[in-house]
Amino acid sequence: MLPRISKAAVKAVLYFVLLYLVPSILISQLAEFAPDLFANYSQLLRLFVAVVIFFVVASELASGTIFQHAFNIGKAIILIIFYVLALDGGVISLNLNFESVPINIWADLRVYLMMLITIDLLGLAKGLLQAINFLSEKTELQVPTPQPAK
Amino acid sequence: MRQTIRALGWASNVFWIILLFFTVTAVYSAFQLRPGFGQPYESTSGGTFTVSLPFHIDNGGLYDISDVNLTTLIKDDYGLSVSNSSTFVRLIPHGSNVSATHQMSVSVSQIAAGNLWYLLLNDSTFNIDVALKLIYAHAVPFKISSNLTMPWGAPLSNLTLGTPSFTPTEAIIPISFENHSFFVLTGTMRLEIVDNHNNVVGERTTALNVQSQSGFGTELDVSVSGDPTNIREARLHFQTSVFNYGPLVIALV
């Protein structure tokens, strides 16, 4: 159990640095140019990192069991929902005020969203196949080997 | 089964690398865009006032920008369209600099001819919708828009006919207005006097040369045939270098 916990902790720290610290620094630098534009995204980033780290740690702790694959499948589904919600279905619109002039920014990121969803669908398919493979291997181990007839 | 799982894992990794590469390069390229505006200049021709705004986009990024469309829609207070201008640039390849000029035209003669004629008499505020649409990297449609306001000065603001005074053969009619517009009002103004039987019983044409942001006031002596006390209304016709307008009917009694 201890190696699993330490492995999960190392992964959590790595994901935290890669997915939170580095993007946070980038976002804070970009926010200097347009504070209104990036203000909401730091909150979304925190939520995204929390979801990913939860599933990575849970999956690691449950490794070697069917729950590992269940967590991977859950992660893929939750992230698809998260991406759709975070990107407003792929069409984002922001209203800003630049020196008291109202500015509306609109971007159609559906191609980008499709790419994200494709990646997560691949992860979902992989998780499902891993779960099926895990169960079939387990079943094979439980079935007694037929003995030759005497 | 194991090969399929491995293949899916590889495919997922490859997609992640492509997506990260696209994201990083797209953000980097966006910061390499150098849009700029030149000095705007104005011109007036045939009753049309045109503001030309030169602009250029230096695409120093890694991706092309296509279907760039800059539109300006000028509307009056009631939402009626005064002017709709559009400038289209098909493609700005990466590493190139494209220049264009956006022209916004306001046709005063069309204002006078259509249902916006009240703008000749009343100051107002124009709402200007500015929108820039483009497709970034042939994949991401993008639009940035804003709404501005601009004051409109009427060329015949506060047009007033004073109380006429009469002699046995003439009507003396004080007339005044202020030119709040951006152009010099040059041309003629014709005043017709109409009696109770709808007959034109007198008329007078006077020259106009009213500078922008200045007033005009005079007393017009109009010879009237018949009884001057029978007159009902005055009809004003303007023929200027920028617009023609008339008749503007004003009751005199």
pLDDT at residue A36, rounded to an integer: 65
- Tell me if chain A has a CB within 8 Å of the CB of B139: yes
Does the beta-carbon distance from B15 to A118 stay under 8 Å? yes
Note the pLDDT tens digit of each residue in B186-218: 999 999 999 888 889 899 999 999 998 999 999
**pLDDT, tens digit only, all 253 positions of chain B:** 888 999 999 999 999 999 989 988 998 898 898 888 888 888 877 778 888 989 999 999 999 999 999 999 999 888 888 889 999 999 999 999 999 999 988 888 888 877 788 889 999 998 999 999 999 999 999 999 999 888 889 999 999 988 888 888 888 899 999 999 888 889 999 999 998 888 898 999 999 999 989 999 999 898 888 777 788 889 999 998 888 887 889 887 6
Contact list in A for residue B145 (CB cut-off 8 A) is 103-104, 106
**With the CA atoms of A131, A135, A140 and A143 taken in that order, what torsion angle do they form, in degrees rounded to the nearest 10?**
180
Interatomic CA distance for residues B238 and B253, integer angstroms = 22
Q: How many C-beta atoms surround the C-beta of residue B188 within 10 A?
A: 12
The tens place of each residue's pLDDT in chain A, 150 residues long, gives 778 889 889 999 999 998 888 888 877 777 776 666 666 777 888 888 999 999 999 998 988 899 999 999 999 999 999 999 888 899 999 888 877 888 999 999 999 999 999 999 999 999 999 999 999 988 888 877 677 776
3-state secondary structure of B86: strand
CB of B143 within 8 Å of a chain A CB? The answer is yes
Q: Is B2 on the interface with A (CB under 8 A)?
A: yes
Does A107 sit within 8 Å of B19, measured CB to CB? no
Q: Crossing angle of helices A35-61/A2-16, nearest 10°? A: 170
pTM higher than 0.95: no
Q: Do B8 and A106 touch (CB under 8 A)?
A: no
pLDDT of residue A150: 66
Binding-site residues on chain A for chain B (CB distance < 8 A): 101-109, 111-112, 115-116, 118-119, 122-123, 125-126, 129-130, 132-133, 136
Pick the residue of B14, B144, B150 with the most A CBs within 10 A to test the interface with A by mutation.
B144
Say which residues have a Cβ less than 8 Å from residue A141's Cβ, sequence separation at least 6. none
- Which residues is B189 bridged to in the sheet? B206, B238
| Share of chain A residues as helix, strand and coil, in percent rounded to the nearest 5 | 75, 10, 15
> In 10 A of CB B162, how many CB atoms?
12
Q: Under an 8 A CB cutoff, do B143 and A103 touch?
A: no
8 Å CB contact between A52 and A12: no
Tell me, what's the pLDDT at B251?
Answer: 86
* Cis status, amide bond into B247, omega within 30 of 0: yes
Q: Please give the C-alpha separations between residue B101 and each of B35, B37, B42, B85, B129, in angstroms, as whole numbers.
A: 13, 9, 12, 11, 18
Chain A nearest CA to B123, separation (Å): 23
Contact yes or no for A45/A16 (Cβ under 8 A):
no
What is residue A55's predicted lDDT score, i.e. its pLDDT? Answer: 92
Burial class of residue A123 (count of CB atoms within 10 Å of its CB; 0-12, 13-18, 19+): buried
